[in-house]
Structure 1
Amino acid sequence: MKRLRLLFFPLVVALCAGVDAAPAACQSLNLNTPAAVHEGNNQALIDSFVGDHYYFFYAEPGRFHIAWTWGNASEGFNVGGKPSFAAAFNPKTQGSVMTFKEGPNGTTYDGTVTQRTRVLIGVSPVNSKLVRQTTPYNLVVTGNVSFANAAGGPDPIVGLYAQKLLFQGEPELGAVKFLTNGTIVTSNGGEGNWKLFDADSGVYSVTIGGRRMTLTLQRGRALVDTASKSTVFELQH
């Protein structure tokens, strides 16, 4: 927690002060374009091989509450330690106050503002660069708050991925781009397409070359084989 807070707060000032970044459709790996928090549970997996997640919301005059909890490692090895969480006003406005309390499996923030104020949130994975650890977490924001409207943004699958599961008898795809128009291009010259099969479960039908796959999107992390849960494509940005 201390490590994240020391890194997070200077970056908020240096990179994001005064910037009203466009809302993202899912978890964001980029501090400059944080994802919009939505009402209710914001659930995700954070991966030590992928990196931090960033969110934002707007605190309205009055009180607000942030609750963040994390669970047991769901993929890779449990190397010990725990993910970290921090929140900061972006930028701080006159009369804005925020305090936090750490628990064994999460962190809560309570704050008050006298005028509409943007709040930036960062989640950092367990520090394990040599052994993968993937940790589920849940983020809930309540009180006098408003959430940016992410409607009309790109599908959550859109992004750049690295191939992590090689297909027997086929060349490596290299970098893989899932584009907004439902097509896929790879750095080795391959092409394909994707189609959402079930929005609630995040299941997609994906075809690249002659290979057809059913993949589940783990937002902000990867596309995994729906049956085996093996990571097929890992999100880069």
Structure 2
Amino acid sequence: MDNIIILLSGGMDSATLLWLAKKEFKKIYTISFDYGQKHNIELKFAKELSELAKVEKHFIVEIPHLKNLEGNALTDKNLEIPSENYPDDPPITTVPMRNLTFLSIAAAFADTYEIENIGIGIHSVDSPYPDCRAEFASAVEAAINASSIMVAKKKNRIRVYTPFLGKTKTDILKLGLELGVPYEKTYSCYKGTIPPCGECATCLQRKEAFESVGLKDYIEVNDE
């Protein structure tokens, strides 16, 4: 496979996806988004990871309209980030159409740079989010191909690359450890604190994954 653009948040999953892409693709681009998230410190980590991975180019895109959405705890200043694991239903941290927006923008860059793969690190533990499910990935891939200038001209196909679908956080961590992912350079907290809060769903997932393989989180080690 030739080239790919990775949606890079700076967290564990997207960092593992980036290191997997280093093994499987020749040219790698990364794209991150500033959408008014309370944890926008993640952008600093995404930038550093991109530099460490020596990608072709790292794009940071502002998405102003997502900053104005009320009713979700990631962008609404009047709502607190819950200190609990994800419920079965879409959690209050669901930003409406976030991944659809991200992938649409990434597809525009794919068209411009003639990139035939778009990588996103969605996985089974994220399934309470509607836009982290297999049916979403297949539907958005179809829409991207139907609207792509490059596909119309070259008669090729753009693939939404989702190697972690069906995998757990522990599965992803084990793969990342094999690939040498610098997890000390990743950030997973939705509250955006330094050190991470250790209580939000993303912090709890991360802690459980490290404990499941008998390791202490690198961030916890560095904070001691």
TM-score (norm 2): 0.25
Return the structure number with greater strand share.
Answer: 1
Pick 1 or 2: higher relative contact order, CA cutoff 8 A, min separation 6: 2
The higher radius of gyration belongs to: 1
Return the structure number with greater helix share.
Answer: 2
TM-score (norm 1): 0.24
